[in-house]
Amino acid sequence: MKFQKPKGTYDILPDDSAKRNFLYQKIRTVCNNFNYSEILTPAFEKTELFRRGIGETSDIVSKEMYSFNNDEFTLRPELTAGVIRAYLENNLYNISPVTKLFYIANMFRRERPQAGRFREFWQFGIELIGSNDVHSDAEVICLGVQLLNEFGLLNVTTKINSIGSPAERSKYLEILKEYLISYKSDLSEISLIRLEKNPLRILDTKDSRELEILSSAPVLYDYLSTDTKRRFEKLLAILDNLNVRFETDYRLVRGFDYYTDTAFEIHSGELGAQNSVLGGGRYNNLIEQFGGKPTPAIGFGLGIERLLIMIGKSNYKFSQKNNPDLYVGYTDETAQNFAFGIAIKLRISGLKVEIDFLNRSVKSQLKEANRLNVTFSIVIGENEINSGFVELKNMHDGKSLKIKLSPNEIYNFISKYENETSTTGNA
């Protein structure tokens, strides 16, 4: 019986984990510069938390959650709800009126897998809690844009909209519904269902005929209050000043119930049908809804797998692999004992060292050393043990020199060599 991974999951193999760690490191650097602190919350929460936060009628809550223990708990399908729960439970608002958090975490949704969509997937996300200042909107968007810039991703589009308050939206929805009903016979089956369930989402359609109908449909933006519109225009001006490239998209909407005002997404042409790599927005009512004082907040989530796809299709080069410094070869069992001792000592002093476990021929051991792209190799046998000297071979240029067979000598030589080559910079 051979086991298989669950549908929609994947194994992160050594090559992948190296790339991911590099990516995470870059994310942490950007977050550090913007002064966001990392937060980690449990992988599962009370089911009720997601029901209340994301919205009972959303697709996620109604059919995509992994719940267990009689529906008491659910594997997190997103992280904003959990972070806000932690924020309130640990009274983080008492430390400072503004809290800036980020996370890199896995989450779970029972969706049909396809390109760039998984049942277990990772998101990097940030939450800026405690300010409704329009500059905080700008900061959050800038952080996302900056991160993509770090990887030289140019084929992206940042789209921004304001979806106003729930009150402003419901007024508009009635009018939109009325308008669409007059075109009922031209609408697709799916859109007819949406018309009842969630008319706002019809704006997302890709059907050309429906796009035509929508081109003269009432626009949500026109139904927002003057205050909301002025706030939005102020945000656009700030982004303009910062030379952030964006497009306003009055048809951009969000899937979760908790969003208010600013909504934004970053799309990429490198992705398939799931072309959104980053999505976020303001949620000024969620914290109050979770029993806290009314507190404004804004954040986004970025799909790690989608980012990796984009980077993979660009010509971005991940930084060089971290190869072993030294391969310790040996000729026979007596020599192996000796060589093994040397290898361990050098590892303890801080070198990256590999040694064979299979008692293979010297030739095979060096082949392996070559495959690992080690910088230096030594081979220890009777001669070396008796003489106390060993040939230290530079595997890159093939040159070798005799050196005392002692961990100290070897360590000093190799670390000196690496300091010299790293300061002169390598091609």
Partner RNA sequence: GCGGGUAUAGCUCAGUUGGCAGAGCGUCAGAUUGUGGCUCUGAAAGUCACGGGUUCGAGCCCCGUUACUCGCCCCA
Q: Compose the 299-338 pattern: x for residues touching RNA by CB under 7 A, - for all others.
A: --xxx-xx------------------------x-------
64 vs 409, which CB is nearer to RNA? 64
Check residue 273 for interaction with RNA (CB under 7 A): yes
> In the complex, what is the shortest distance from the CB of residue 336 to RNA, in angstroms, rounded to a whole number?
13
Let me know if 42 is exposed, middle or buried by CB neighbors in 10 A (0-12, 13-18, 19+).
exposed
Check residue 205 for interaction with RNA (CB under 7 A): yes
- Give the interface segment with RNA, choosing from 24-32, 82-90, 380-388, 403-411 (CB under 7 A): 380-388
Strand ranges in 150-253 using DSSP code E only, listed in sequence order = 156-162, 247-248
Check residue 401 for interaction with RNA (CB under 7 A): no
Residue from 85, 109, 231, 251 touching RNA (CB under 7 A): that is: 109
> In the complex, what is the shortest distance from the CB of residue 206 to RNA, in angstroms, rounded to a whole number?
6
Check residue 368 for interaction with RNA (CB under 7 A): yes
Report the distance separating Cα 146 and Cα 190, nearest Å: 37
Phi, psi of 120 (to 5 degrees): -115, 125
Residue from 49, 277, 298, 339 touching RNA (CB under 7 A): that is: 277
206 vs 317, which CB is nearer to RNA? 206
Report the distance separating Cα 378 and Cα 390, nearest Å: 7
Report the distance separating Cα 188 and Cα 252, nearest Å: 20
- Give the interface segment with RNA, choosing from 18-26, 68-76, 362-370, 414-422 (CB under 7 A): 362-370
Check residue 115 for interaction with RNA (CB under 7 A): yes
> In the complex, what is the shortest distance from the CB of residue 393 to RNA, in angstroms, rounded to a whole number?
5
Q: Enumerate residues 20-49 that contact RNA by CB under 7 A.
A: none
Report the distance separating Cα 278 and Cα 157, nearest Å: 10
Cα distances (Å, whole numbers) of residue 236 to 161, 164, 248, 379, 395: 10, 15, 9, 65, 56
Which one-letter amino acid corresponds to residue 174? E
Residue from 135, 367, 402, 416 touching RNA (CB under 7 A): that is: 367
Residue from 1, 35, 94, 112 touching RNA (CB under 7 A): that is: 112
> In the complex, what is the shortest distance from the CB of residue 110 to RNA, in angstroms, rounded to a whole number?
9
CB atoms within 10 A of CB 310: 23
153 vs 277, which CB is nearer to RNA? 277
Q: What single-letter DSSP state applies at residue 321?
A: P
> In the complex, what is the shortest distance from the CB of residue 289 to RNA, in angstroms, rounded to a whole number?
17
Check residue 161 for interaction with RNA (CB under 7 A): no
> In the complex, what is the shortest distance from the CB of residue 27 to RNA, in angstroms, rounded to a whole number?
14
Residue from 132, 275, 349, 415 touching RNA (CB under 7 A): that is: 275
Q: Which helix (H) or strand (E) segment is 160 a member of?
A: strand 156-162
Check residue 260 for interaction with RNA (CB under 7 A): no
Specify the residue for token string 């979770």. Answer: 290
User: Judging by DSSP bridges, how do beta strands 297-303 and 276-282 pair with one another?
Assistant: antiparallel
Q: Tokens for 192? A: 């007819």
Check residue 218 for interaction with RNA (CB under 7 A): no
Residue 61, C-beta contacts closer than 8 angstroms, at least 6 positions apart? 50, 51, 54, 55, 77
Report the distance separating Cα 164 and Cα 402, nearest Å: 75
Residue from 208, 363, 425, 426 touching RNA (CB under 7 A): that is: 363
- Bridge partner list, 46: 73
Residue from 11, 69, 206, 320 touching RNA (CB under 7 A): that is: 206
Q: Compose the 56-95 pattern: x for residues touching RNA by CB under 7 A, - for all others.
A: --xxx---x-------------x-----------------
Report the distance separating Cα 47 and Cα 66, nearest Å: 9
